[in-house]
A and B are shown apart, each in its own frame.
Chain A
């Protein structure tokens, strides 16, 4: 169809071009006289093309176009219908699935791992050196926040250990000037959600349930989605996640237990501490 329209047009343009090249101004053999003649001729050719085109369209019998082509749908076009049906059936579920899968917090939030100003390694400090989480995050048992430690806490050791390390440069600068080290926040709930560390940690929910094996991470990254569904899943069914409140910072605890043993242990502590996590909206949205 498109080819049928374009073919005469191309021919016309080609002919105009050829004639132009032969026009006297260019010093080629004068086939058509002056340039004015040429323009008149070109205008006539183009207009005659359009006249031909439109009359061709109007006068055409079905399947006939500009008196040249007899257009019939080829046999393969029978395939278009099944193809359209297949596309119509797969595309919407595909889009829905991709949006649900791709924009779930498990994709967008989990795995966030910003580069910190100091390459601080939990694997070295909490893992190899066995420093308890509360040595640094020492407000975790008393307040809603598990604050990031102040520079002084690092200086307890680093005035002596690695005192010239280039990696610790921002830390020493902070120590001298009193300006804070600008750690980048990893876990961040929306401001309308209220979370409390003390309420969880003192009731036997370990850091590992929400932050993963921090003590093996070189750089902290988010492991859980921190979505409302995730919070509620545990508030509805806390037993498999509970343990002795004095073991909350022992992240590797329980790795050798079977699921049944782990559940029994959790159930025991749920009973001892009378735990009934609330599902009221006002617990977390206040």
Chain B
């Protein structure tokens, strides 16, 4: 286009009809929608169901644990045993091991199936920290975090705490409980006591005995003399509530001796 003076630019793009611009802008915007949706889906938790494009055998006609089965009135695919069924592992002929009682009274010694040694106490500590710690606290003084929270709730008005009532979990160092035979502790864990629920469903029989051994060791440790701890001279005076670490070291050294009834 060399001929003649031209006011308009020669650049072809400026000569495109308007419609092309609009279409181009629309298409670009439309092309941005999928990435925007994807980025959103990747960054924000959402309630929408998962999308599975290829569903081959994702859901097979079988039931897995805790699934729903609408054939049954309660909707459980896992069926309960017929009432009165006793599995062989639940046979309670051996009342000492399974119930913690001997001839109608609480057992005073550990049953033959469990050997009280360091392994059992370690196991007991592990289980205690899972199942008892929330209420009874690290040192079994009855000051766990759930207890603290419940006490805070009690100070609120009943509309805010929805009628919370709370009985303090027992301080297991109390005279009355420290004197209890091992069988009675086992019985308490298995069947609950007043406001404390049964833990039989959550803890196996062996582990319950391990917890009993650990509680015994804790009680022993709570009342132990400082001289029982190696290097005791360097420690401060005995406190009512031990620090975690202190409690741990004390129990370790006292445990074996304390737990054998």
Kindly state the separation between the CA atoms of A139 and B118 in the bound complex, as whole angstroms: 24
Which of B102-110, B163-171, B252-260 forms part of the interface with chain A? B163-171
Task: Indicate which residue in A102, A113, A246 contacts B38 across the interface (CB closer than 8 Å).
Answer: A102
Closest to A180 in B: B76
Tell whether, in the assembled complex, residue B38 and residue A101 are in contact, meaning their CB atoms are under 8 Å apart: yes
* SS class, residues of chain A in contact with chain B: loop
Tell whether, in the assembled complex, residue B162 and residue A135 are in contact, meaning their CB atoms are under 8 Å apart: no
Q: B231 to chain A: which residues have CB within 8 Å? A: none
Tell whether, in the assembled complex, residue A160 and residue B150 are in contact, meaning their CB atoms are under 8 Å apart: yes
Cβ of B166 to closest chain A Cβ, rounded Å: 5
A145 within 8 A of B: yes
Tell whether, in the assembled complex, residue B13 and residue A79 are in contact, meaning their CB atoms are under 8 Å apart: yes
Q: Interface on A for B, CB 8 Å cutoff?
A: 74-76, 78-79, 94, 98, 101-103, 106-115, 128-132, 134-135, 138, 145, 147-148, 150, 152-153, 155-157, 159-166, 178-180, 182, 188, 190-192, 219, 221, 246
Q: What is the interface residue range for chain B against chain A?
A: 35 or more
Q: B58 to chain A: which residues have CB within 8 Å? A: 190-192
Tell whether, in the assembled complex, residue B16 and residue A108 are in contact, meaning their CB atoms are under 8 Å apart: no
Tell whether, in the assembled complex, residue B149 and residue A107 are in contact, meaning their CB atoms are under 8 Å apart: no
Q: List 8 A-B contacts (CB under 8 A).
A: A76-B17, A94-B31, A129-B134, A130-B134, A131-B146, A161-B150, A182-B75, A221-B45
Kindly state the separation between the CA atoms of A159 and B164 in the bound complex, as whole angstroms: 9
Cβ of B36 to closest chain A Cβ, rounded Å: 11
Tell whether, in the assembled complex, residue B66 and residue A147 are in contact, meaning their CB atoms are under 8 Å apart: yes
Tell whether, in the assembled complex, residue A98 and residue B38 are in contact, meaning their CB atoms are under 8 Å apart: yes
Tell whether, in the assembled complex, residue B164 and residue A192 are in contact, meaning their CB atoms are under 8 Å apart: no
B239 within 8 A of A: no
Kindly state the separation between the CA atoms of A161 and B195 in the bound complex, as whole angstroms: 12
Cβ of B12 to closest chain A Cβ, rounded Å: 5
Kindly state the separation between the CA atoms of A25 and B35 in the bound complex, as whole angstroms: 63
Q: B75 to chain A: which residues have CB within 8 Å? A: 179-180, 182
Kindly state the separation between the CA atoms of A163 and B165 in the bound complex, as whole angstroms: 8
Cβ of A64 to closest chain B Cβ, rounded Å: 22
Cβ of B34 to closest chain A Cβ, rounded Å: 5
Kindly state the separation between the CA atoms of A157 and B164 in the bound complex, as whole angstroms: 10
Q: A102 to chain B: which residues have CB within 8 Å? A: 34, 37-38, 41
Closest to B38 in A: A102
Tell whether, in the assembled complex, residue B47 and residue A114 are in contact, meaning their CB atoms are under 8 Å apart: yes
The B175-212 residues at the A interface (CB cut-off 8 A) are 195, 197, 201-203
Q: A178 to chain B: which residues have CB within 8 Å? A: 74
Cβ of B205 to closest chain A Cβ, rounded Å: 14
B7 within 8 A of A: no
